[in-house]
Structure 1
Amino acid sequence: MTIFDEVKELVDVPTAARSYGVEVHRGNMALCPFHRERHPSCKLYDDHYYCFGCQAHGDVIKLVQELFGLSSIEAVKQLNSDFALGLDVDKPPDMEKVNRRRREIAERKAEKARAEHMYDVLLRYFTLLDKYKMLYVPTSPDDETDRRFVYALQNIGYAEYMLETFNRFDKEQQEEIKTEVDRIEREYKRCIEEWGECLGNRFT
């Protein structure tokens, strides 16, 4: 593994772009820093970027090269300094340290993926209950109360609480409620299997 490979593993493109003042919008779409535009056309992936407007593309090192007019090794040194990577760019990389950093990065990515999945479960469950509540509310006192409406009323308060508080939890707290989120995911799937999936204003 070269020093270039190591830097690319340690710093992802969206993080570097934001750090260097690139305006990044939802979905990691950015205003391209290499041509004038009013709407974001540059997609930032973890390991590369691509502009659909001017076709600029490359990895995180190329991004820094183009932003600051640097050579590739100068860009590596810039990233090493700005992100406190602690790499000795004048010596071959210490593979023990490299592998340790790679494990740390993999663990952080796995933690992020777990947290995103848990939040997605809570969001989908709350959204489903909210639609049950809106679509199956009785329109007159003589209407038979739909069981989906009753179920939503019984559970939506708790679902909303879990959704709103999840992002305030630290990593340890998120791990502590994983069993509960797993239960909610099973309950969501049961609702879909028993009552159908809500698509817009219709259930299938």
Structure 2
Amino acid sequence: MNCFQNVKYGVSCREAAERYGVEVNYHGMALCPFHNDRHPSLYVADDHYYCFACGEHGDVIDFVSKLFRLSLYDAAQKLAADFHLTPDKPPSAAALHAKCIQTEAQQLRENERLCFSILSDYARVLRRWKAWYAPQSPAEAPDKRFVEACHKLDQTEYYLDILCAGDSYERAEVVSYLLTDGRLDKLKEKINGRDAA
């Protein structure tokens, strides 16, 4: 096993981020160190990171490379040294398999938490829009935010119910749906948009 594989299996992106001073919250979100971030927009999972604002993404080695302005090789060497990984004693096959299973389960939980957090914020925005932008008379044309709230609030609350009380298959289906085609990113843009205030 080479140094890159040893580091990728031995250190999670979240462990590295926290070791190097990036505070990651319960939902896996942090202030992005790669741009002037005032609201947490960096999602840090075990095997990757992604910034919803600036678009930076990659694995643990990419993260350290970008953070310290190192080559990928030097970043891998730094991680190996800082986390006491030795090339002569790579992780065993059983440990790698267990870490892989654990990482997949953790990833699903992190994705569920992220989806729940964003959906909760979106539902709050929709409730606000439904109250604030309701037509004042039958002759008044409805505001587009009121229309969106009427169309999307029930669906959003349904997804939240599944993420709270659904079985693992149902939760995975909702997460998969939200993570495809940038749906979650679009919801986050609506939440952070000036209309959400």
Please tell me whether Structure 1 or Structure 2 has the larger radius of gyration of its CA atoms.
1
What TM-score, normalized by structure 2, do the two folds share? 0.48
What TM-score, normalized by structure 1, do the two folds share? 0.46
